[in-house]
């Protein structure tokens, strides 16, 4: 009996719930659908005005000193201490001694050879007085000016065939050139600065034994630098020496003015690029610095330059006609990292200045109003 009562109550409850749910569905069906407001995007626009657009080639590279010398020893000797330390960062003026090697032993052999030359000339003087009195005086003057502590002077000019045979036969000429050869080698024990500059590398220290052919260091002129850049072969006939170049550092906080100093006459067969060399001067520059160069290669007539992201894959761009987006075909002329130069865009055309996410032809847009109530023109 209790079970029948419970089942009856549950049946009545289900019937009442079904009636309430059915009334809810009927009421919602009769309600009007909500109107979704139409969103019109506001876009930045520009008015096309064709002009001459310069083609700027971006390239980068590291600076190297225009004047640099790798120091090598051509003789062997002990590295002697000089007036300045041979250390990286040490500055030397033009003509100052960079390295001096101990040449005392070699110097003695040079002096011995010079003494032998002097004795050989002195030995023929009596014969010259008797057989060649007209040339005796010039040889006597040569001996009087001969100083063992100075560079050997040039032999007197031989005027006649007999004098030539006589002087040559006594071994004077061969002894003279032997002395000059030894003197020339003696100068290699001292390396002088060919220009005012700074040591960037020092591989030896004072007191070490330097061997023939050993590299000693590197010496550069820090006032003028050069940067090697590779550009496309299509600009081979456009790049010219003397063209102004703007260089910037990696942080784009500083700019430097340089110029194209040289252009390679051949094209790299592997990369199909041509090498240009940019010369730049500035006190802030250091060898090895990484800079980006912008080279003015050419000018394109009747063209505009826009953001590269505005160009579609189909070589079209969006334009605005009666508040609607549309597309028109264009002719790309040059691409850079961030922009593209276009032709065949009529003057007065309203185009986007920045890309619009989700843009499509026929999309309703609203042009942004500038402070001067005009759209900027693209040139």
Predicted pLDDT of residue 32: 57
Instruction: In whole angstroms, give the CA distance from residue 349 to residue 375.
Output: 11
pLDDT in tens, 163-218: 888 888 889 999 999 999 999 999 999 999 999 999 999 999 988 999 999 999 99
Predicted pLDDT of residue 204: 93
Q: Which residues of the chain are under the pLDDT cut of 50?
A: 370-377
What token pair was written down for 164?
């030539």
Instruction: In whole angstroms, give the CA distance from residue 279 to residue 245.
Output: 9
What token pair was written down for 310?
């505005």
| pTM recorded for the entire structure | 0.65
Q: Is 190 exposed, middle or buried (0-12, 13-18, 19+ CB in 10 A)?
A: middle
Predicted pLDDT of residue 188: 93
By residue count, the chain amounts to 379
C-alpha pair distances (Å), 70 with each of 7, 9, 219, 280? 108, 108, 6, 22
Predicted pLDDT of residue 291: 93
Predicted pLDDT of residue 373: 43
Phi, psi dihedrals of residue 115, rounded to the nearest 5°: -65, -40
Domains of the chain: 43-55+301-378 (2.40.420), 57-65+222-298 (2.40.30.170), 68-96+193-220 (2.40.50.100), 105-187 (no CATH)
Predicted pLDDT of residue 344: 81
Beta partners for residue 59, in sequence order: 293
Q: Around 38, how many Cα atoms within 13 Å sit in the side-chain half-sphere?
A: 5
Helices (H), the chain: 2-29, 104-131, 133-144, 161-169, 172-186
What token pair was written down for 336?
């850079």
């Amino acid at each position: 009996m209790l079970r029948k009562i419970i089942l009856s109550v549950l049946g009545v409850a289900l019937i009442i719930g079904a009636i309430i749910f059915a009334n809810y569905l009927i009421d919602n069906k009769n309600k009007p659908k909500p109107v979704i407001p139409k969103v019109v995007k506001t876009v930045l626009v520009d008015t096309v005005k064709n002009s001459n657009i310069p083609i700027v080639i971006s390239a980068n590279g590291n600076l190297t000193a225009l004047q640099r010398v790798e120091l090598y020893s051509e003789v062997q000797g002990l590295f002697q201490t000089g007036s300045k330390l041979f250390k990286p960062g040490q500055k030397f003026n033009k003509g100052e001694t960079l390295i001096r090697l101990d040449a005392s032993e070699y110097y003695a052999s040079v002096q011995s050879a010079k003494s032998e030359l002097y004795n050989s000339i002195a030995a023929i003087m009596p014969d010259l007085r008797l057989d060649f009195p007209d040339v005796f005086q010039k040889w006597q003057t040569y001996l009087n000016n001969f100083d063992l502590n100075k560079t050997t002077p040039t032999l007197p000019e031989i005027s006649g065939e007999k004098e030539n045979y006589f002087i040559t036969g006594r071994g004077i000429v061969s002894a003279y050139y032997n002395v000059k050869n030894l003197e020339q080698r003696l100068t290699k024990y001292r390396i002088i600065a060919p220009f005012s500059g700074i040591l960037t590398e020092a591989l030896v220290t004072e007191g070490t034994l330097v061997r023939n052919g050993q590299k000693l260091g590197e010496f550069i002129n820090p006032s003028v630098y050069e940067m090697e850049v590779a550009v496309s072969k299509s600009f081979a006939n456009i790049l010219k020496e003397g063209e102004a170049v703007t260089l910037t550092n990696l942080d784009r906080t500083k700019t430097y003015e340089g110029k194209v100093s040289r252009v390679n006459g051949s094209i790299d067969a592997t990369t199909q690029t041509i090498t240009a060399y940019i010369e730049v001067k500035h006190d802030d520059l250091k060898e090895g610095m990484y800079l980006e160069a912008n080279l003015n290669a050419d000018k394109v007539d009747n063209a505009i330059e826009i953001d590269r992201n505005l160009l579609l894959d189909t070589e079209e761009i969006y334009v605005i006609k009666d508040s609607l987006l549309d597309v028109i075909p264009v002719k790309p002329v040059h691409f850079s990292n961030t922009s593209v130069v276009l032709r065949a865009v009529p003057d007065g055309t309203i185009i986007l200045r920045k890309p619009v996410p989700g843009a499509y032809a026929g999309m309703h847009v609203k042009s942004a109003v500038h402070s001067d109530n005009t759209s900027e023109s693209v040139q």
